[in-house]
A and B are shown apart, each in its own frame.
Chain A
Amino acid sequence: MVLKVFFPSCCSSAESGILIGRWISEQNSAVILAVVHFPFIPVQVKQYLSEVQRVTKVSVSVLGSWSNSKQEKEESLSEFLEDLGTIFSHEPWIQISKEGDSKFWSCSTLQKHSNNPKEEEIILVYYDQRKVMLSHLHPPLDAAASAEQKAEDASELSAIFDTVAKSKILFMTDRYDDGPIKLTHWQSDGVEASIIVELMKQASVPACMLLTFLLSLISGVCRSRALKFWPLSFLWSKLSTCEQLGHRLQHLQVISSTKKAQNQTQLMRKANIFVSLLIDVALGILLMSWLYRKNRIGHLADTLIPVADHVAEELQNLLQWLMGAPAGLKMNRALDQVLGRFFLYHIHLWISYIHLMSPFIEMILWYVGLSACLGLTVALCILSDIIALLTFHIYCFYVYGARLYCLKIYGLSSLWRLFRGKKWNVLRQRVDSCSYDLDQLFIGTLLFTILLFLLPTTALYYLVFTLLRLLVVIVQGLIHLLVDLIDSLPLYSILLRLCRSYRLAAGVKFRVLEQQDGKPLRLLMQINPLSYSSVVQTYRLPTYSCYPKDSWASLCKKLFLGELIYPWKHKGEKQD
């Protein structure tokens, strides 16, 4: 049987003493946490260890002895160390000794109640105690789902990481304390702490309470009855800015809660939300300062009306083209003229409204631009909403064209069934044969012919306006994708992976150090950090919008039948 000893590299130069740590019998490995130096009273050591065990729930015990002699090996010392094995009974008793500055230590075990007398091989694995303590081991993504089964079958590595992480209290006593026990571990030269972090921790509690109070006020106002009346609630649900503001409010509530984070995932989530909000607001303020610098807002407002005019003019040209002979196709003159004039009048109405609003545009834009200080995402949502408002007439045309086309298609399909002598059975949801009267057949066939010959005209109008609508939808969709990206990117985790890569561990890697015959195998255990793609996948923040719910096939089918398409439906909205 191979015995594995995990030795912290910080204790390599420690004075002689006894080794304390955890013995994992299922894996035949000993994780050494610290070295207790002479002189000590065995009873006090046992008391201290039982206290540590009670607090940390890790079974810490004395595992063996460590001797670091500068000169030649002393016989009396080795006998003394063996006698210690009888005081602290532990099976097996590990003895590690280092001579002078030699890299190669000798390791041996004493087994009193062993069945097999043969010498077992010992592997000495060095590990960096501070890094292993701070690191968080991530299980592979597919195994995380079955985490409940894995609880009893904990892997060896997670047991080691767990042991070191839970023994934080052991590392709190340094050598300047006046206790009866003198320990050596990674913090024995003095406990590390940062003044800034401690000050921020003290300041965060009252800040969180203030923030919670303010947020409860704001959410109370938002939920008040005054804002729930029908026109207003419809407006709030359609504007994406309100969704984004609600989302950010939720985030603020998460970070301002005064409860401490229970586990690693919650802590990382809070930190990611905080950093994401900070960066968002910083970028927003940057954008605002750029917009207001040389009165660019004024220029923007000035160009808005000419742009709207230009779009309307282009649409008018398009309609004139459709009313003539578009692409050489011959349209039905009467229907063409009716539809064309209807849409032209609509555009005329729209332009009049825009010109009515034009003196107020600059002021509205100026005040709306101020809200960019709430974040870059809010500014992008406002942009998307402005685009939606400016292209509202395109949306109207699309709805008119689609409804007309849809009616036509349904009429045609039902009359086609009549033409063949069949009928749609609503009760049975299938096509049945039916005998029609002569006059029913006559009128049906007439209507069918009329609808069929008017089909190209309506189809062309429908095609043109659907393409325009799709263009606007794509532009809005791209803006929302960008907003989603900023919302869900875990910036804190990525920065952590960049700067302190040992905190996020995917596993470990071993390096074989110099060997010498007769001495145990020496390995160095280092932390293998998580790859950037798994960091983003594990710590992604959830967002409120979802990607197109229609597959390409169903989208094409809907377009063909003339059903209205809403590809960027938000989560939580009722389905049509």
Chain B
Amino acid sequence: MEERRYRSASGAPIALRCRQHSASCRELAVRCPRLQLRSLSAVTSAVWLAAYGLFVLSENSVVLSAAIFITLIGLIIYLHFVKIDQESLLVIGSLGIQVTSSYASGKESTTFIEMGQVKDVVINEAIYMQKVIYYLCILLQDPGDPQGVSEVVPLFQSSKPRLDCLIEVYKSCQEILEQRKTAPHQA
């Protein structure tokens, strides 16, 4: 179980942790940068200054309590629905791939894709604003067409690691995915 440091597409520091539970089971977790105290205090002070300015203009103290209320609710919503702390990939050969995102408030949202539906795991390029970034994605099999791809599931969307980190993850996944091709199915 080792942890290595990389950078995300926007330059923020991220960490990749790779754990091997057994010969056909691997867990890869990317930890996103934490919520900075600087930005949190900057936003809070901006909101409260604006509210105080409004209070001076309107002489109504409801503005101040409303500002506090809004800040608290906004922070709770941000932590519970927006800020992702860690994104992990659990690859279990012959069962499937599980993608988990854990939010800053502790909530975890999980999706499990069965191995029968997974066609391949590849690194794709995408144009994002003015940059070209790389992202890892799972290609799902089209049940009607054996050569076709029915859906593309992108991974690590909020941490956006760079190519060097993605290559590590890609190599780990491919080692396990290859096992299902070499092992013949029983008749």
Contacts and interface: CB of A to CB of B under 8 A. Distances in A.
Interface of A: 1-2, 4, 25-26, 28, 121, 123, 125, 146, 149-150, 153, 155-157, 507-510, 512, 515, 521, 523, 528
Q: Is the interface of A mostly helix, strand, loop or mixed?
A: mixed
A4 B95 contact: yes
Contacts of A1: 94, 183-186
Interface string B134-175: 000000000110000000000000000000000000000000
15 contacts: A2-B24, A2-B94, A4-B94, A25-B186, A28-B185, A121-B22, A123-B92, A123-B94, A149-B143, A155-B117, A509-B110, A512-B27, A515-B22, A521-B21, A528-B112
B22 A521 contact: yes
A325 B141 CA distance: 71
A179 to B, nearest CB: 35
**Nearest 8 Cβ contacts at the A-B interface:** A509-B110, A521-B22, A2-B94, A507-B112, A1-B183, A512-B21, A521-B25, A155-B114
Nearest to B115: A156
B92 A523 contact: yes
Given A25-B186, A510-B90, A510-B92, A121 B24 contact: yes
Contacts of B94: 1-2, 4, 28, 123
Given A149-B144, A512-B27, A155 B90 contact: no
Contacts of A153: 143
A23 B83 CA distance: 43
B143 A150 contact: yes
A566 B94 CA distance: 58
A123 B95 contact: yes
Contact of A157 (B21, B114, B183, B185): B114
Interface residues on B, range: 20 to 34
Given A2-B24, A510-B95, 10 more contacts: A1-B185, A2-B94, A28-B185, A28-B186, A123-B24, A510-B90, A510-B112, A512-B21, A512-B90, A528-B112
B116 interface: yes
B102 interface: no
B116 A156 contact: yes
B8 interface: no
B7 to A, nearest CB: 28
A121 B23 contact: yes
Contacts of A25: 186
Contacts of B112: 507-510, 528
Interface string B1-26: 00000000000000000000111110
Contacts of B111: 507, 528
Interface string B106-130: 0000111010110000000000000
Interface string B80-113: 0000000000101111001010000000001110
Contacts of B95: 4, 123, 125, 156, 510, 523
A26 B112 CA distance: 20
Contacts of B24: 2, 121, 123, 521
B181 to A, nearest CB: 13
Contacts of B117: 155
A256 B93 CA distance: 50
Contacts of A2: 24, 93-94, 183
A515 B25 CA distance: 11
Contacts of B21: 512, 515, 521
A515 B93 CA distance: 17
Nearest to A528: B110
Nearest to A153: B143
Contact of A512 (B23, B25, B184): B25
A1 B182 CA distance: 9
Contacts of A515: 21-22
A146 B94 CA distance: 25
Contacts of B185: 1, 26, 28
Nearest to A3: B94
A140 to B, nearest CB: 9
A211 B170 CA distance: 63
Given A2-B24, A155-B116, A528-B110, A509 B183 contact: no
Q: Which of A2, A4, A156, A157 has the most CB of B within 10 A?
A: A2
B75 to A, nearest CB: 23
A507 B186 CA distance: 26
A451 B112 CA distance: 70
Nearest to B25: A521
Contacts of B22: 121, 123, 515, 521
A206 to B, nearest CB: 46
A2 to B, nearest CB: 4
A28 B100 CA distance: 26
A25 B186 CA distance: 7
Contacts of B116: 155-156
Contacts of B93: 2
Contacts of A123: 22, 24-25, 92, 94-95
A108 to B, nearest CB: 16
